[in-house]
Structure 1
Amino acid sequence: MKLSAPIFHLKRKAKLLSRQDSIPLHKALDRIAIQEGYRDWGLLAAREAASKPASKLFERLAPGDLVLIGARPGQGKTLMSLELCVEAIKSGRRSVFFTLEYTEKDLFDRLRAIGVEASQFGGHLEFDCSDAINADYIIKVLASVSRGTLVVVDYLQLLDQKRENPTLTTQVNALKSFAHDRGAIIVFISQIDRTYDPLEKPCPDVRDIRLPNPLDLKPFNKMCFLNNGEVRFSKAASTF
């Protein structure tokens, strides 16, 4: 049964309902679940977990992959990337999340939105919110990374914002070589251009990636696009 909105939107709706009707959050969640056609929130969450796009995407990833996750704001691309980190840790791997967009507190809050606490993963999940993040910085931080480590870069279009940074193409190629040599999996969160119209197609694709500066997308061998609960996977940019 398809949900009317992504689960994190339904959780926000339940929180608002809880405040408006002065009822416990668990009762508000159950009300939302009933509206979605489920007996209670526990059943909805269990069914949703079994069909999580992040879990399906993670099963497709392999050491050396360069992956792009693209969506317009508010469609869940950051939450999906965090879910990928959790999936990696569950499989016994390390995850590192580099962000030029969020603070560590922001990321802790988003982890809670998917029902987990960063503290439960010990040192297997790391956040890096440095203003110095670029390809060279990431490669230096990951100098001793083990094979299969999942790395998230948030986000693609910010890497070359500083004039002193190399071009986006140079940085992406450097990270592709690093992923190949060290067996890391590197996931880039990407903006989607404002010209994308969901009325014309349910999900964006490679043609909708926002590229204020030129970038050859061939190094990305896997892509995932999100919009209004729709998820589309692709093996490579060249398949479009």
Structure 2
Amino acid sequence: MRLSAPIYQLKRRAKLLARGQNIPLHQAQARIAAEEGFTAWSLLAAHASKNADVGTLLPHLSNGDMLLIAARPGHGKTRLGLRLLLDAAIEGRRSVLFSLEHTEREAMERFCALADPLPETTPEIIATDDICADYITNYLAGSPKGTVAVIDYLQILDQRRSTPPLSEQVEVLKTFARETGVILAAISQIDRSYEPEAASVPGLADLRLPNPIPPGAFSKACFLNAGEVRFQSLI
């Protein structure tokens, strides 16, 4: 099913409808969703997220970049990270997924769902609770410049008491990326307090961070919400 307009235009249309008819935004969104053939706005947003163009990140990245990929659950951040790894593999680059969220089998199933057939050399999948900054840098030591690694996800890196605070780990990763030319991307959650009505796409202030990260930790960021993707340079 093809939407009549990009998701951000449909969201704007819903806001105008809500204001014009003095009805709650969720009711306006439900009407727009019905016009597009969906029984609920959440289904329309999921459809838009699933079909969003997520294959264009790699050309915007440079060796040594630290990339943040952030969204609320179900808005495509993991899919975007996996697509980035597949694009890197297609170009012949080394690509590695460090997953604290999915098993190796689950990750491979998601790769298969994104690419048929898979690249001749598939991304490496590391799925262990031992993942932390030191583990990642040791594993990637000696990798050629332009290697791409994705960490799934940022907030779990310091879940074990034996690992350093998140801020220290991010500094280690940032230094490693700059010194080696490896591209590191970290998938991140957005705080539940984020209100789409206030901003169509979240930003750095909306990150869910029990432990703060140092300013300037990431060089680039990609924020997603309801099918809208916003890429930006942070330095």
* TM-score (norm: length of structure 1): 0.75
Residue deviations 1:88-113 (CA, integer Å, cap 9, x gap): 12222110000100011211221233
Residue 22 of structure 1: aligned partner: none
- Listed as ranges, the gaps of 5+ residues in structure 2 are 8-36, 39-49
1:149-164 correspondence to structure 2 within 5 Å? 149-164=147-162
1:228 paired with 2:229, answer: no
What SS does the aligned partner of 1:83 have?
A: helix
CA distance in 2, matches of 1:117, 1:107: 16
Q: 1:2 to 1:185 in 2, by over 3 A?
A: farther
8 Å CA contact 2:94, 2:148 repeated in 1: yes
In the other structure, the counterpart of 1:44 is: none
Partner of 2:86, secondary structure, is helix
**Pair 1:137-2:126 in alignment:** no
**Cα 1:76–1:101, aligned 2, differ >3 Å: closer, same or farther?**
same
2:120 maps to 1:121: yes
**Alpha carbons of structure 1 residues 99 and 106: separation in structure 2 relative to 1, 3 Å:** same
| TM superposition shift of 1:224 | 0.4
Instruction: Look up the SS of the partner of 1:121 in the other structure.
Output: coil
Q: One-letter code of the match for 1:144?
A: G
Match of 1:204 in 2: 202
Distance 2:83 2:149 in 1: 12
Question: Normalization by structure 2: what TM-score?
Answer: 0.76
- Name the % identity: 43
Give yes or no for contact 1:65–1:179 (8 Å, CA) kept in 2: yes
Is the Cα contact below 8 Å between 1:54 and 1:81 reproduced in 2?
no
**1:5, 1:90 → 2: CA distance?**
28
User: Which has more helix, going by share of residues?
Assistant: 1
Residues 59-68 or 212-221, more deviating: 212-221
Q: Is residue 147 from structure 1 mapped to residue 148 from structure 2 by the alignment?
A: no
Q: 1:125 deviation in Å?
A: 1.2
Large movers: runs of 4+ above 2 Å? 1-6, 51-54, 115-118
Could you tell me how far apart the structure 2 residues matched to 1:167 and 1:3 are?
46
Structure 2 match to 1:176: 174
Structure 1 residue 190: deviation in Å?
0.3
Q: Which runs of 5+ in 1 are unaligned?
A: 7-34, 37-47
For 2:64 and 2:4, locate their aligned partners in 1 and report how far apart those are by CA, in whole Å: 34
Paired residue for 1:185? 183
Write the distance in 2 (CA, Å) between the matches of 1:4 and 1:232. 17
Alignment length, in residue pairs?
195
Q: Which residue type is aligned with residue 115 of structure 1?
A: A
**How far does the alpha carbon of each residue in 1:129-156 deviate from its partner, in whole angstroms, 9 at most, with x for none?**
0110000001111112111000001111
